[in-house]
Amino acid sequence: MRFHRYRPRAWVPAVLVAVVSLTATALGTQAGAAASITPGIAAGVEDDGADCAVPDPSALTANSKLPDPFTRLNGTRISTKSDWRCRRAEIKKLAEKYVYGEKHAKPASVTGTVSNTNITVNVTDQGKSSSFSANVELPSGSGPFPAVVVVGGFGADTATIKASGAAVISYDPLAVGREGTPRNNKQGAYYSIYGSQSSTGVLMAWAWGVSRIIDVIEQSGGNILKADAMGVTGCSRYGKGAFAIGAFDQRIALTMPIESGTAGVPIFRGIPGESGSQPLSSAYSEQPWLGDAFGSFTGNPATLPLDTHEIVSMVAPRGLFIMENPHIDWLGAKSGSVAALGAAEVYKALGAASNITYWSDIQDGNHCAVRSEWKTPLQQNIQRFLLKTGNAPGTIRISGKKPGNLSEWRTWQTPTLTD
C-alpha cells in the first residue's frame, strides 16, 4: 500500500493523554560538555571510518534485547570518544550486510552543475553511466546558502526551512531507485550502474543519490550552496529515505526523518509486539526498500546483530531531529521512541546529548501534516546545525499514546567515554 496517502479517521484524539519530556539536561548533558568533540558539525567526507579495520561478524545468535552499541565486534567495549569512529564503521558494515545492502563509495567520476534553480548530476563508474537532477529553491537574501534536501516532495515544512535561511533541494528519489519493481529487476540511476539484480535496496540507492548531489555541490565552488551545511528531510517512505541518507553520509549536518515507520527509525525487535504497526514482512515486500538480505529476518528480528537504535547512532554527534506521529498505529511510534532513546545514550556518551531531538507530542493525527509543534524545533535545528548560530534544542518529547521504555530493551549501561 502507498501509505503516505492514508488519512486517519475521526477517532483520532485531539489531545494527548500524557507527554514524556526530557531536556538535554535530563539526558545527562552539562553546559559545555560537547566541547571535547566537534558537536553537530558535519564531517568533511562521506565516511570518515572508511580506513577502520572491521572484522567479519561472528555467527548470528538470537538476542531479544537491543544489542549494545558500545561493544565492538570483538567483544570489547569502547572507552574513549575517539573509539566511536571505528565502532560506527562496524555498525555501518552490519547495516549494509543485513539491512540495506551495500552503498557503493564515491564513483570514479561525478560531474554536474549547480544553479539558482537546478542541480544536475552525471555519474560514471565501473564503465557505466547515469544521470539525474534536482530542483533548487533559494531563500531570500544573499548566498551562499545552507540547504535541506527534501526527499519526495511532501510532508516537509519547506516554508519554515526557507524562512529560516536555508535553500530547499527537491529530490526525486524514484529517479535513482524506482519503486514498483521486483527485487531481481531494480530500476533507476543507481541500478543502471550497479545492476538491476543488485541486492541493495532502494533506500540505500536513494542515499547514494544524495551523496552524489553533495559531491556536485562540493565541486561547484560554493557560490550558491554550502556543501558543509546540508540537511535532509522527508516523510513516510521518504522519511525512511531521509533516515538512511543521514546515517550513511557524514557530510549531512542535520538529519530530519518524519513519520518514517517500519524500515525507518522504529526498532525492528519492537515491531512484532507493537499492536497495529506495519509488520516487518509487509515493509519488506511492499517495496524493495530494504536490502534483499533482510528477508531472512522478517520472521525473527532477534537474530539481527544490530537494530535501528544503532543506525540512528550512526548520525551521532551530528544534528538529528526525529518527528513521529503516535496517532497512527501503522507507524510504530512506540518502537521509534525506543530507538531514539537508545541512540540518545550514544549522544550522551559523546558529550553531545543536546544534538538529538525527538518529538511525537503532537495533536494533529493526519499523516505527513505540517505541524505547529515542530516549527520551533525545526527553526532551532536549522539555526544550530546549518546556520551554525544559537544552541542545539536537545529535546525529547514522547507522547503518552506511544511511550517506549528503553530499560525493557537493554541489558547494557552507558559508559563514560573519555576525551
Tell me which residues are annotated as active site.
236, 367
Cα–Cα distance, 282 to 294 (Å, whole number): 12
Residue count of the chain, please give it. Answer: 419
Exposed/middle/buried for residue 22 (C-beta within 10 Å: 0-12, 13-18, 19+): middle
Q: Which are the contacts of 221, defined by CB distance < 8 A and separation ≥ 6?
A: none
